[in-house]
Structure 1
Amino acid sequence: MSIKKISQSIHRITLLVLLFSASAKAQIQKVEPPFWYAGMKNPELQIMFYGKNIAQYEASVSNNVVIKNVEKTENPNYVFLTIDTQNLKASELIFSFKMKNKVAFTQKYSLKERRANSADRKSYDASDMIYLIMPDRFANGNPKNDSNASLTDKENRKDPSGRHGGDIEGIIKNLDYIASLGATTIWNTPLNEDNDKQHSYHTYAQSDVYKIDPRYGTNEDYVRLAAEMHKRNMKLVMDYVTNHWGITHWMMQDLPTKSWFNRIDNYAQTHHRREVITDIHASKTDKEICLDGWFVPSMPDLNLRNPLVAKYLTQNAIWWIEYANLDGFRVDTYNYSDPTAMANWAKSVTDEYPNFNIVGEIWMHNQAQLAYWQKDSKIGAIQNYNSNLPSVMDFTLQDQIGSAFNEDEATWDNGMIKFYNNFALDYLYPNPNNILVFAENHDTNRINDGYKYDVAKYKLVMTLLATVRGIPQLYYGSEIGMGGDKSKGDGGIRQDFPGGWIGDKNNAFTKEGRTELQAQYFDFTSKLFNWRKLNEAVHFGKMTHYIPENNSYVYFRYTDTKTVMVVFNNNAKPQTIKTDRFKENIKNYKSGKDVITEKTFDLTTEITLEPKSAVVLELN
């Protein structure tokens, strides 16, 4: 063959390759999950391919991989292929799409190697303290990503409801500060892309659930955050949303199927009365509006009864765990979705990761309604229901924390009796040690505002959280006295952490930068929770409490080898408490050392406490 003909042949081949590549690129716009992992317990993988009229092609896979199911919808731009990954090693698969037995285009798909012992990863538990961060308001580590050309909502720090520029880099730069508080775990409100026109900083109306919002950073930055935390023996919890996406989610422009979302043609907003889910007298209409109604008009309600949606969300959750090396989930608006579908979702995640903890936001106001939703609940069993959800948030305790320490004079149901009554119903929970205890979060009133910035009352709140059963959670900034008025809007309780932005006059991230008042809050919080890190009695020890008298409350946390005595005086005057009433727990101990002041108290007769104060005593 002549050189000229060889050259012409190479040119034709090059053109064909270019055309072939261009065709594939034009044909397939999205593949989700974008890649997967070999060696998962559930070998069935559902891959969504999205592109113009892609459903008209016949698909096959290299490496003798079996396509177990091909699912097409009324929208020809989607096809869902389920393959069997059983015994497949990490490799690159090639999907071929044919028309009339001719390959029209191909798509590479990676099966990656899992991290060592990935399935057995340890999650957060009662030995941890969780620090809740709203990333946009915490620290701006990279001012260059404050706005993004592809996203509508731009940085505007002057607007309390606007984007302020906090990001993943800001969290990474302040990990040592967080660790110094005694926090072992970080829960960030969502970081995935949210392209709402306004108020997008809260990121609960996500527009792409496989992508970190560029104003926070990149997917790689998120992986780096987890890695930096793990270097410090800290754990990363993702705020996951199963109930809804944002109105700007890319699928809303071209629905895979109308049944992907609930009530897409007959909009209704949920009435938020989730009691109807368990109410044996509830009407079908009320239940339907509760579960299928939209949270707000900007958040379309996902239909988890659709198997395609359920599988998509399950795989998305597992993908993030594996990809970012996560240590746990907090799940938003947990019981706004179909209960059976959510039970299946939780089981699928925990089947892959048996030690993985998931706490659900069950925002309800009595223990029976909360306990129903914890895994293996006897209350749920009455209705043949098991949520498979390991943990719930203790909203009933949060209700009491919001008022009890303002009640100087005890009555039958006011003051410290509120806490006693709350814990007296712990028998309803299958696992009271594994519930999240908190005083506030990004949706509630700030405790410092509610307690009029009284440091003494703040200390009472923190002492309670650090010593009762469950997993304590602290909301960013409270540890330096931050408050905020929720009546002025959500921006009022989601303020910027001082020192997180260049030019801030007050830098509370450093000892030198804190004001004297900020230091009072911080030093107490840090000493208390750093002590807690090392005391197994308040992690998983038993609890015995005594009926409050004179607005004073005493309880013990103990193991076979260690006992902690906690004493509260919620009076506006000093209180002397005789100790003979507590002999069954004091036993032969003679003294107790306060973990904060290191003062020793004689336990043989009585203990005197200052007004509005508490002591945490390690018994000797």
Structure 2
Amino acid sequence: MKKLLFLLLTTTFAFAQIDRVEPPFWYANMNLSEVQIMFYGKNIAQNEVSVSNGVVIKNIQKTENPNYLFVTVDTKNIPAQDLLFSFSKNKKVTFTQKYSLKSRRENSRFRKGFDSSDMIYLLMPDRFANGNPNNDSTQETIEKANRTNKDGRHGGDIEGIIKNLDYIKSLGTTALWPTPLCEDNDEKGSYHTYGQSDVYKIDSRFGTNEDYVRLSAELHQRGMKNIMDYVTNHWGYQHWMMNDLPTYDWIHQFPGFAQTNYRMTSQFDQNASKTDAQICMDGWFVKSMPDLNQSNPLVLNYLIQNAIWWIEYADLDGFRVDTYSYCDKKGIAAWTKAITDEYPHFNIVGEVWMHDQAQMAYWQKDSKIGAIQSYNSNLPSVMDFTLHDAINGGVFNENKASWDKGIIKVYENFTNDFLYPNTNNILVFAENHDTNRFNQIYQGDFKKYQMAMSLVATIRGIPQLYYGSEIGMKGDKNVGDGDIRRDFPGGWKGDSNNAFSNEGRTKEQQQFFDFTAKLFNWRKGKSVIHNGKTTHYVPENNVYTYFRYNDAESVMVIINNSDEKQDLAVARFKENTQHYSTGKDVISGQSINIKNNITIEAKSALILELK
């Protein structure tokens, strides 16, 4: 009886003493066998620690804050089981804490990430579909749902995504990128979710951790991949640690707040002042987003383990990393390497929002440009922002070509491909959740949408489609970010227009949808597009022609950016056409003779499978 009473008392005390354990559990048989467990509770560092079952404690680290204790254990050759940590004072156990080592999924280490065979569908969960109205507002979060506020919470959630996965797949989508789903407890604008308040917890307005695991399972059942939007650079100011930091330098302090200068060029500019380079890297992105210090080993290890934990727990297929180039350069390279060491075939694409190919190529793994400064980011994939600059900058409105106007801008983008270590692993896109809507810039002009999507679908790299573009959705960034993140029509009960179904779409929406679905479903089976070679020709009369080819097949793409019908003399392209006589238009199915001239309508694109 006395023993039972003692156990009850110590168990109760354990709950009082330990407020958080992170990671909440770990996995057996990891390549990263040493895990640093953070125990958090009032004056917990006053205790001595031991662990059961022959597990070796490699290190116990205390900080200036007595409420934290970082305990590193070696799990090598330790099977999946529950461990028991004992916390003692004066050689007497005062409380214990169970900690689980779980079994990994079979072949988890060799999971295949997204690649150039994929098409990624980007959506903002709060604005896509409301599958569970009961979680629109929750007691534990500050901001409540208000669909009338374009910058507020609208109620979209994980359940809404799951209910519409068949729609997403019908577009030819093979990978899903939702913007961050972890808790963001800001009092306003929290739908954005890049200012996270708990990186081990799905925001309750989106659902639960279990819902997120279910989303992955539902995607995998459909042969699709799950890409997590991960933030290494900063958290939100409502993050639970902000009121009780483990160390003063867990975040960058000046002291307190100083904003970044956003001059990412200072990270490799050999003439940059140390002051400019530091404020770029260490300054806060905005005042509500404390900047994490990846040069602090505790912070770096925390971020590495959190990322790996999510991969294992939610069975992820990739990361898109926000504000990648604002992080500590050495720290983010170590973070990326730790993940790809654990998962050799996992893919990570970093947001490197720059406007010069050499500057973006610097950040891709094994860059010769980075090597000049003995730097390797280890980042497999970057985003083609210079192509986006041309598309989003209005290139398809430039009907008359000049030396530097018109479709030549697109051609010039690819002339710099020699700078990249791996052009197949570049994310290509016309727009995303931070840019103006394509269909706003081009005023819903279907022909211009056809040209842009034909380009994105057939060039080297990994195409990304932003939700709603496939039905002609507009949105003006000049009005505000909320306008480029409008609700998907039909995602809410009572919506008058349901674009998720054929019968619910308008004639215009159906036109956009049919073209998009046909194009990207065709692309799914085309290895010549996924990893074929490219030959392109200097545009003439605002017409850009290029070929994707391998040993087995060849595809000819013609984009007429002119406002006039054009006749192309095929003889100019004989090095790519001499073995072919016809081309099948992948959209119309029409066969076109390519022995002489090819006529292409104004403001249009042709994708021809050569025969």
What range is the shorter-chain TM-score in? over 0.9
3-state DSSP of counterpart to 1:452:
coil
Cα distance in 1 for partners of 2:215, 2:80 equals 25
- Paired residue type of 1:502: K
CA deviations 1:127-179 (Å, max 9, x no partner) are: 00000010000000000000011110000000000000000000000000000
Which of 316, 327, 330 is the equivalent residue of 2:317? 327
Alpha-carbon offset, residue 327 of structure 1: 0.2
Cα distance in 1 for partners of 2:545, 2:568 equals 10
Which of 183, 199, 204 is the equivalent residue of 2:194? 204
Which of 571, 574, 594 is the equivalent residue of 2:585? 594
3-state DSSP of counterpart to 2:460:
coil
Please say if 1:102 is aligned against 2:92: yes
3-state DSSP of counterpart to 1:464:
helix
3-state DSSP of counterpart to 1:98:
strand
Instruction: Verify the 8 A CA contact 1:258 1:264 in the aligned structure 2.
Output: no
- Paired residue type of 2:424: N
3-state DSSP of counterpart to 1:17:
helix
Corresponding residue number in structure 1 for 2:462 = 471
Cα distance in 2 for partners of 1:392, 1:274 equals 15
CA deviations 1:332-383 (Å, max 9, x no partner) are: 0001011111110000000000000000000000000000000000000000
- Paired residue type of 2:405: N
Cα distance in 2 for partners of 1:176, 1:452 equals 29
CA deviations 1:177-201 (Å, max 9, x no partner) are: 0000001000000000000000000
Which structure 2 residues correspond to residues 491-506 of structure 1 after superposition, within 5 A? 491-506=482-497
Corresponding residue number in structure 2 for 1:421 = 412
Please say if 1:296 is aligned against 2:307: no
Cα distance in 2 for partners of 1:422, 1:162 equals 37
3-state DSSP of counterpart to 2:478:
helix
Cα distance in 2 for partners of 1:197, 1:337 equals 26
Corresponding residue number in structure 2 for 1:6 = none
Cα distance in 2 for partners of 1:312, 1:135 equals 26
3-state DSSP of counterpart to 2:66:
coil
Please say if 1:215 is aligned against 2:197: no
Instruction: Verify the 8 A CA contact 1:125 1:434 in the aligned structure 2.
Output: yes
Please say if 1:287 is aligned against 2:277: yes
Corresponding residue number in structure 1 for 2:435 = 444
Which structure 2 residues correspond to residues 63-82 of structure 1 after superposition, within 5 A? 63-82=53-72
Unpaired runs of 5+ residues, structure 2, are none
Corresponding residue number in structure 2 for 1:519 = 510
Which structure 2 residues correspond to residues 117-516 of structure 1 after superposition, within 5 A? 117-263=107-253, 265-402=255-392, 403-516=394-507
Cα distance in 2 for partners of 1:277, 1:193 equals 31
Cα distance in 2 for partners of 1:564, 1:65 equals 58
Cα distance in 2 for partners of 1:28, 1:573 equals 72
Instruction: Verify the 8 A CA contact 1:359 1:393 in the aligned structure 2.
Output: yes
CA deviations 1:513-544 (Å, max 9, x no partner) are: 00000001000000000000011111000000
Cα distance in 2 for partners of 1:586, 1:554 equals 12
3-state DSSP of counterpart to 2:345:
coil
Instruction: Verify the 8 A CA contact 1:406 1:451 in the aligned structure 2.
Output: yes
Corresponding residue number in structure 2 for 1:529 = 520
Cα distance in 2 for partners of 1:118, 1:588 equals 45
Cα distance in 1 for partners of 2:451, 2:472 equals 14
Identity %: 66
Instruction: Verify the 8 A CA contact 1:358 1:389 in the aligned structure 2.
Output: yes
- Paired residue type of 2:157: D
Which of 585, 609, 614 is the equivalent residue of 2:576? 585
Cα distance in 2 for partners of 1:244, 1:179 equals 32
CA deviations 1:41-87 (Å, max 9, x no partner) are: 12111000000100000000101111111110000000000111111
Cα distance in 2 for partners of 1:14, 1:35 equals 27
Which of 22, 25, 28 is the equivalent residue of 1:35? 25
Alpha-carbon offset, residue 587 of structure 1: 2.1
Cα distance in 2 for partners of 1:285, 1:494 equals 36
Alpha-carbon offset, residue 264 of structure 1: 5.9
- Paired residue type of 1:601: I
Corresponding residue number in structure 1 for 2:78 = 88
Cα distance in 1 for partners of 2:7, 2:52 equals 19
The normalised TM-score by structure 1 is 0.98
- Paired residue type of 2:496: K
The normalised TM-score by structure 2 is 0.99
Please say if 1:111 is aligned against 2:130: no
Cα distance in 2 for partners of 1:285, 1:612 equals 49
Count of residues in Structure 1 that have an aligned counterpart in Structure 2: 610
Instruction: Verify the 8 A CA contact 1:58 1:97 in the aligned structure 2.
Output: yes
Please say if 1:576 is aligned against 2:567: yes
Instruction: Verify the 8 A CA contact 1:240 1:329 in the aligned structure 2.
Output: yes
Query: RMSD value over aligned CA atoms?
Result: 0.7
Alpha-carbon offset, residue 20 of structure 1: 1.2
Alpha-carbon offset, residue 588 of structure 1: 1.5
Cα distance in 2 for partners of 1:489, 1:588 equals 52
Alpha-carbon offset, residue 13 of structure 1: 3.9
3-state DSSP of counterpart to 1:34:
coil
Corresponding residue number in structure 2 for 1:57 = 47
